[in-house]
Structure 1
């Protein structure tokens, strides 16, 4: 089971997930999914890809949640 810690790294990509921009995390997530769908990985590698993919998805969601919060704050300020 994967930890909720989004600093997950693997030898597949040494950059900690929490240091990725939204665009970097999204691109790597797309590549990860593609690689998993290809079926060209062994079980150990598939598990590592899955865990990294989960962390990347959480990172993207965090970026989007942050953007939504900023929009909500701007709308609130504009309405006052």
Structure 2
């Protein structure tokens, strides 16, 4: 999935919620369930990567702030 095709965190999370709702439907076919599961795994990975990147950015800002305070 290219960066251009990559959904935002919010879009990925919303789609994951939609997938969960569809998978809870007992009338869904096995093939459709597998397709949804595969899509959900990809979206979960996107969400995890996005959260990890955000955590690194926050840590960087916090570390920089700590360094700035030490130099004052």
Q: TM-score, normalised by structure 1?
A: 0.76
Residue 70 of structure 1 corresponds to 57
CA distances 1:20-68 after superposition (whole Å, capped 9, x unpaired): 0000000000000110011231111100000000111111111100110
Q: Distance in 2 between matches of 1:65 and 1:73?
A: 12
Residue 27 of structure 2 corresponds to 40
Give the RMSD, CA atoms, in angstroms: 0.9
Q: Distance in 1 between matches of 2:17 and 2:37?
A: 12
The structure where helix makes up a greater share of residues is 2
Q: Distance in 2 between matches of 1:51 and 1:71?
A: 31
Write out the 4+ residue segments of structure 1 that deviate beyond 6 Å after TM superposition.
none
Unmatched tracts of structure 1, length 5 or more: 1-6, 8-15
Unmatched tracts of structure 2, length 5 or more: 68-72
Matches within 5 A, 1:1-80: 7=1, 16=5, 19-80=6-67
The alignment covers a number of residue pairs equal to: 64
